Structures are given as structure tokens and as C-alpha cells.
Amino acid sequence: MVVLTGYDPLPGGLRLPRGIVLSEISVLSEPMQRLLFHSGYVEPPSAAAARRTKLPTPVATRGTHENLVRMTAPRLLGGLSPDGEAVDLRTHRAAYAEPPISRRGRGDAAIIDAVEAAGLRGRGGAGFPTARKMRTVAGAARPPVVLANGTEGEPASGKDAVLLSRLPHLVIDGALWAAAAVGADRVVIAVDRSNGVAAEAVAHALAERERHEPSAVAIEVSWTPPRYVAGEESALVQFVNKGVAKPTVGAGRPFQRGIDGRPTLVQNVETLAHVAQIAAWGPDWFRLDGTAGEAGTALYTVTGAVTRPGIVEAPMGATTMEILAMAGGPSVPLQAALVGGFFGAWVPTEALWRSHTRAGLEPYGASPGCGVIVALPAGACGLSETARLVAWYSAQSAGQCGPCVHGLADLAAGCTDLAHGGGPGLVEQLRRWGSMIEGRGGCHHPDGAVRLLRSAFAVFADDVAAHSAGRPCRASASVPFIYVPDAAHGWR
């Protein structure tokens, strides 16, 4: 197996794979091969092959073949300004036409059709088909609202902050395209108020629009408290309506009854950025990257034991190892990876060679989630790391449902015991508690802890056995590896 070594960023955010020669390309996953061909980084082997890789004509409002090639890889990050500043409205408009005016209560089926043909799935975690959500909201009796979810409560994730702080107009355009798709006359952008850079960039971008491009759609920002659960869609809706960022239990789903009781389309900000690009470049262009079932590219926050931690963009279907390679590759031997973030699951190293898609990770009970990958070095203690993450889950509970409040506290205490050495029957007890908690919360928050713990039992089975027998590894007493933030914030 050839591991890619070194992707050097070029000015403008493009990345050039160094040291790849054609004979090695064949060991890359098919989506990565296509990405490299389309982006012009690799000479096709022959004129015949060049013809086979011919790009379709973009259906963009302002597209040329040339900038299509430039944009194909990376697509979102390709638009970053090399000086690290947010892209201003003028620069943004040189590449993207203004979104159409939304007609209140009258959606635009053609936009939804394009999103459907593109096969876009949400990038906020659950991977739900975006067009399906749009169609439901567009068909509702009352005029809907669009809620752009940029809260990014997942501690290991940074991709939404990059989009909001560096490409705010792409996100706002996506929200306006979504508004036109469903016939919304109001857009709310939710931003974690502790994320100062993103908050400032969004506020500045909206002020620019106010001056140069006033919109018929009311666009406002909701500054959310830095709590993980605040990013859950019903919590966001309740925050906008009542100023409390806790999930509502049994109050109907946002797509039925959301902001001001109106049907509300909640989409992650990366999803909306893709919507803006699909609107500009068309579904065929979007499908140039990715797999048949999981199209386009996605942003990944790659941290842990990699040479250059950061945000990278890869085609859906690239293997996890290829994505790690875009972050410089593993810096030391790995024992596992946390995929999907704290709300995700551990996978063993064998999984790193599989496609980083829902289909590829499904056998391990994992999914790409919001695109977080944390590479765990061989020297760390996976069980101790898990125990600290489960304690974080417990601290982040919104305190409304018994299984979440008490169940997560018990689970966290039990995991900590296990990390310190455990005792007979503890693992079975933890498994039982997990089954009792799962699916019993008002939202999916507790389910995340149970999934994480189950994956730890599978991936660190040898450690579990040693800890249960009272023989914790030496690493369990060493410095924690994954940074876990505190939860000392209110809900308002």
C-alpha cells in the first residue's frame, strides 16, 4: 500500500500532492484518482484517457471551463483568500451570481430538483438528503424559515468556523438559495457567540450586503451559547423563539413547527455552502467528485497524531488514510481513529483503508458524521480517552430527561472506574446501562455516548480485558490526548 506523503498547500488554498507518480495513482481510491485528474494535478496517461476524463460543460451562471478545473479540487476551500481574510462581497460576486429573490410561500421546485440530482446530503452529522427536507418544508401550509446551523458544538470540529470566518458570503448565498427553494422570507444564521472570529466575519458580511445588496429576505444572526446540545435543531429553534438553547421534547419537529411556529428548514452551514455551489455549477459538476451514493466533496477536521492537523477537503469516497494524508499523514504509528467526533465512534486501523463514507464505515458502526477524524497514537489509552469523552457527555446534558441526566452520570462514573482498573462485571454493567439509556432521551445526545462506548469496547477489546482484570495499561496514567472543553456555560 502506498501512503501519500505530503500535500503542500499552494497559494489560494489549493493542494498539490507531492511525490505521486502515475504508477502510484492506481492504488488510490477511485474518487481520489478522479479528483487528481480533474484538478489537472496529474497528466492523463494518453490522449485517449484525456478524452475519457473530459469535463462536462458547467451549467454555471458565470462559469468557464478554466475556472471549473480550478474549482474542482478543493471546491469550497479553493475559494479561500490566501491572506487568511474573509472573502468580501465584491470578490465573492466575481465568481457567484446573486441568488434569486425568494417568493414568500412559493418555493422553486427547479432548485430542489438540482439539489436532489446532485445527491447532496447534510454535512452536519446525520447525512440526511437535503432535497427531501427542502421538499417537505416547501410543501407546508405556512411560509417557512431557513435556519443555518453554524453552532459547531462538536469540540473536535473546526470546518464550520472556517466557512463562517473565511467564506461567509458562500454560506449566506447558500441560505438564500435554500430560502428561494422553499419560499422562505426569513433566514436565521446561528453562530456560537464564543467563536469571535466567525461572529465578526458574519456580522461584517451582513453589513456589506445591507449596503450593496439589500435582500427582500430578512437575514438575522442568532448568537448561541457555547453548549454542545445547543446545536441540536429543536434546541436552536427554542433558542431563537424563547432564548433557551435546550432541545424541546415532544413539541414537534422543526420542519413542522419551528421558528415562530412556522416550518423551518435547518441545514448545516457546510451543506448550504454546497447548495450555493450546486446552484452555480450544477448537479453534474457536483457529482464529478464523490461516489454514486455519496456525492461531492466534504470538509474534514483532521487532528490528533497527524503531521499537519487542520481542515482539508476531500471527495466523498476517499479512504480515511487518504484524508489523513492530506493532513500530512500519521505522525506516529496509530492504534485507532475517532471518526465523526465526540458524537462519533472509534474505528480500528484496518478501517483507515476503507472509503470514508457512510457505506464504508457502516461495518464499524461509524459514519463520517460532521467530518471529524482524530488519529489516536499507539501510545495513548483509548479507554481513558473514552472515559473523559463520556464524562463530557454527562456534563453537556441539558438536564431534562432522566436517562440522560442519571444514565450518563452513571455511565461516566463507570467508565472512569474502568479506566482506572475496573473490576469484575463492570463492562457487562456498562453495556446494560447503555442499552437502558439508548433511545430514551428527548434528543439523540445520550445515544452518542452509548455508541462511542460500544465502539471503544470493540476497538480496544484487549485493553478492556486488561483493565477489567485490574491491569490498566501505563498509558492510562499518562497525559490525556484529546482536548475536552469544560461545560461551564449557561443555556441562554
Ligand X SMILES: Cc1cc2nc3c(=O)[nH]c(=O)nc-3n(C[C@H](O)[C@H](O)[C@H](O)COP(=O)(O)O)c2cc1C
Among 186, 445, 451, 467, binds ligand SF4 (CB under 6 A): 445
- The window from 40-48, 180-188, 289-297, 441-449 that contacts ligand X (CB under 6 A) reads 441-449
Among 138, 229, 305, 381, binds ligand SF4 (CB under 6 A): 229
Query: Can residue 456 be called a binding residue for ligand SF4 (CB under 6 A)?
Result: no
How is residue 246 written as a grid cell? 435546550
Residue 397 beta carbon to ligand X: minimum distance, rounded to whole angstroms: 10
Query: Can residue 443 be called a binding residue for ligand X (CB under 6 A)?
Result: yes
Residue 437 beta carbon to ligand SF4: minimum distance, rounded to whole angstroms: 9
* Footprint (CB under 6 A) of ligand X, residues 332-371: none
Query: Can residue 152 be called a binding residue for ligand X (CB under 6 A)?
Result: yes
Cβ(456)–Cβ(382) below 8 Å:
yes
Among 143, 226, 231, 434, binds ligand X (CB under 6 A): 231
Query: Can residue 124 be called a binding residue for ligand X (CB under 6 A)?
Result: yes
CB atoms within 10 A of CB 362: 11
Residue 457 beta carbon to ligand SF4: minimum distance, rounded to whole angstroms: 22
Q: Give the residue with the Cβ less far from ligand X, 60 or 266.
A: 266
Task: Round to whole Å and give the CA distance between 404 and 388.
Answer: 17
Task: Round to whole Å and give the CA distance between 404 and 430.
Answer: 14
C-alpha torsion sign, points 21, 27, 30, 35: negative
Task: Round to whole Å and give the CA distance between 235 and 239.
Answer: 6
How is residue 438 written as a grid cell? 439508548
- The window from 207-215, 282-290, 337-345, 397-405 that contacts ligand SF4 (CB under 6 A) reads 397-405
Among 397, 455, 468, 476, binds ligand SF4 (CB under 6 A): 397
* Footprint (CB under 6 A) of ligand SF4, residues 240-299: 246-247, 249
Identity of the residue numbered 98? E
Query: Can residue 399 be called a binding residue for ligand SF4 (CB under 6 A)?
Result: yes
Say how many residues touch ligand SF4, by CB under 6 A: 15
Calculate the CA dihedral of residues 58, 61, 65, 67 and round it to 10 degrees: -120
Nearest-CA neighbor of 163 among 209, 205, 208? Answer: 205
399's contact among ligand SF4, ligand X, none, with CB below 5 to 8 A by partner kind, is ligand SF4
Query: Can residue 400 be called a binding residue for ligand SF4 (CB under 6 A)?
Result: yes
- The window from 40-48, 108-116, 151-159, 475-483 that contacts ligand X (CB under 6 A) reads 151-159
Query: Can residue 441 be called a binding residue for ligand SF4 (CB under 6 A)?
Result: yes
Residue 323 beta carbon to ligand X: minimum distance, rounded to whole angstroms: 19
Point out which residues bind ligand X (CB under 6 A).
122-126, 128, 149, 151-154, 228-229, 231-233, 266-268, 271, 443-445
Contacts with ligand SF4 by CB under 6 A lie at 229, 246-247, 249, 397-401, 404, 441-443, 445-446
